[in-house]
Amino acid sequence: MTVFLNGKLLPAEQATVSVLDRGFIFGDGVYELVPVYSRVPFRLDEHLARLERSLAETKIRNPYSRAQWRDHIYRLIDAQPHEDQGVYFQVTRGVAKRDHAFPKAIAPTVFMMSNPLTNPPQAQVEKGAPAVSAADNRWLRCDIKSISLIGNCLLRQLSAEANAAETILFRDGKLTEASASNVFIVKRGVIQSPAKSNLILPGITYDVVVELARAGGMALEFRDVTEAEVRGADEVWVTSSSKEVLAIVELDGKRIGDGRPGPAFRRMYQLYQEFKQKVMRAGKREATTEAMRA
């Protein structure tokens, strides 16, 4: 596998990072994961904007301009054999003698790799997936896409051990998100999700779903969603760059709605696939719903 490290493309076995890197020592870094369909990155500008925000919030120097980021990412995509990829990139604060406080002059470490993209299998899309729930015990800056993911890993492991697709999280009796995705519910035809805040990651897929719902005339509300409302919802969906939109049909062993992906899900899934197809057909390496509609 060809990876990118600090400006160079090289075989993964030759890409090495110092043990003193603050990413290794403190988890002091931020990251992104961009889906790539037929070698066209999906919503790259939005991912880069979120990376820039994560870097600014963590006071890590951004080593590249937007144009340089794009160029490095395209080169990495072109160096892979797969058409559909998941491009992962992370920036850590860099290498320094261990000290919690930021070192003065330090060069950030940039690492990127691209793996074959794994979307949910068709059978899971059609049948839906089980999830479990847990208390959201992560820190209060879940809006930063930090590589310090031990909280998310511990929570995701709960669903992995239950053979479930996700762990849906509640904080103070209210829905936040899931261990690696955002969550929407549908009740009486209205799509509902928590508004963006410090308690959830501002998902790029969440934004696509919101845009597609609006463009498709589907009712949508941002509001606090209680745990009881999730359990009593007609439909529950999780969204992420790799899961796209996936119906959750069972929570903690109890059926959601009638235990099958609902009509709103099927419509949204269709809209999402159509939108993806348009992006791929356009074959351009930039895509916004606005540009695609034109």
**Residue ranges that bind ligand PLP, judged by CB under 6 A:** 33, 152, 177, 180-182, 201, 203-206, 239-241
What is the smallest separation between the CB atom of 33 and ligand PLP, expressed in angstroms? 6
Neighbours of 191 (CB within 10 A): 21
Indicate the residue among 96 and 171 with the shorter CB distance to ligand PLP.
171
Q: Which residues of 112-142 are buried (b: 16+ CB within 10 A; e: fewer)?
A: bbbeebebbeeeebeebbbbbbbebebeeeb
What is the smallest separation between the CB atom of 179 and ligand PLP, expressed in angstroms? 6
Q: Which residues of 192-214 are buried (b: 16+ CB within 10 A; e: fewer)?
A: bbbeeeebbbbbbbbbbbbbbbe
> What single-letter DSSP state applies at residue 36?
E
Q: How far apart are CA 66 and CA 75, in angstroms?
A: 14
Q: At what angle do helices 44-58 and 204-215 cross, to 10 degrees?
A: 130
What is the smallest separation between the CB atom of 57 and ligand PLP, expressed in angstroms? 15
Name the token pair of 108.
């950030």
Indicate the residue among 63 and 151 with the shorter CB distance to ligand PLP.
151
What is the smallest separation between the CB atom of 177 and ligand PLP, expressed in angstroms? 5
What is the smallest separation between the CB atom of 99 and ligand PLP, expressed in angstroms? 29
Q: Which residue type is seen at 85?
A: Q
Name the token pair of 109.
């470490």
Indicate the residue among 95 and 206 with the shorter CB distance to ligand PLP.
206
Indicate the residue among 80 and 181 with the shorter CB distance to ligand PLP.
181
Indicate the residue among 95 and 155 with the shorter CB distance to ligand PLP.
155
Q: Which residue type is seen at 241?
A: S
Name the token pair of 16.
């090495």
Indicate the residue among 110 and 209 with the shorter CB distance to ligand PLP.
209
Per the annotation, the verdict on 145 as an active-site residue is yes
What is the smallest separation between the CB atom of 213 and ligand PLP, expressed in angstroms? 15
Beta strands in the chain (DSSP E): 2-5, 8-11, 29-37, 40-41, 85-92, 109-116, 129-135, 166-171, 174-178, 182-187, 190-193, 220-222, 235-240, 244-251, 254-255
User: Which is the catalytic residue, given 97, 104, 127, 145?
Assistant: 145
Task: List residues with catalytic annotation.
Answer: 145
